[in-house]
Amino acid sequence: MSGLFGNNIFTIAQKSLDFRTSRHDLLASNVANKDTPGYQAEDLVFRASLEKALQAEQPGPLKQTDSRHFDGRNTPPLNEVEAQRILSASPYPDFDGNTVDLDREMAKIAENQLMYNATLRMLAHKFRGLKSAIAELSLIHI
């Protein structure tokens, strides 16, 4: 599928949208637990895992003479990339041990929503291009 549509764009978009949805749920949970004593704010990170999987597309340090051979890298396939859950502690926890910084969490939610929308716009653009190419091909064959 990467040959026709280019560089796993749909897999990356799907993973990105899934990540953004999961991250939104987690950030909303942080906000909902602002007043819960001892609650530890969490976040999801995705970039390092995605970059590592994308490097799997580049030639490895070892020559593979069979598809079952290892290439010398420890990289997961792109479709298996998952986000990592981390603590997102405020530098100034409340007296009850709660680490949710409401302003920071709301800023993360806004940024996450912008990135989600950008991914949707990129996909819409890609589909418009495919639709245009199909329409032109159908005109050529008439």
Q: What is the pLDDT of residue 1?
A: 42
In the DSSP assignment, the letter for residue 9 is: H
Binned at pLDDT 50, 70 and 90, residue 47 comes out as: confident
Q: Which one, of 100, 96, 83, lies nearest residue 40 by Cα?
A: 100
Q: What single string gives the DSSP state of each residue in 36-65?
A: STTPPPEEEE-HHHHHHHHHTTSPPSS--S
As a whole-number percent, the residues of the chain with pLDDT over 70 amount to 70
Is the pLDDT confidence value at 85 over 80?
Answer: yes
Mean predicted confidence (pLDDT) in 102-129? 95
What is the rounded CA–CA span in Å between residue 21 and residue 49?
17
Cβ–Cβ under 8 Å, residues 90 and 103: no
pLDDT at 92: 80
CA 53 to chain centre: 12
Which pLDDT value is given to residue 69?
59
**If you average pLDDT over residues 74-102, what whole number do you get?**
81
Cα dist. 63→66, 67, 69, 73 in Å?
Answer: 9, 11, 9, 11
Contact 90, 32 (CB under 8 A): no
Averaged pLDDT for residues 110-130: 94
**What are the tens digits of pLDDT across the range 48-59?**
666 766 665 555
| pLDDT score of 2 | 43
Percent share of the chain, pLDDT over 90: 42
Task: Show the tokens assigned to 92.
Answer: 């100034």
The model's pLDDT over 57-76, given as tens digits with 9 standing for 90+, comes to 555 555 666 666 555 555 66
pLDDT for the residue numbered 115: 95
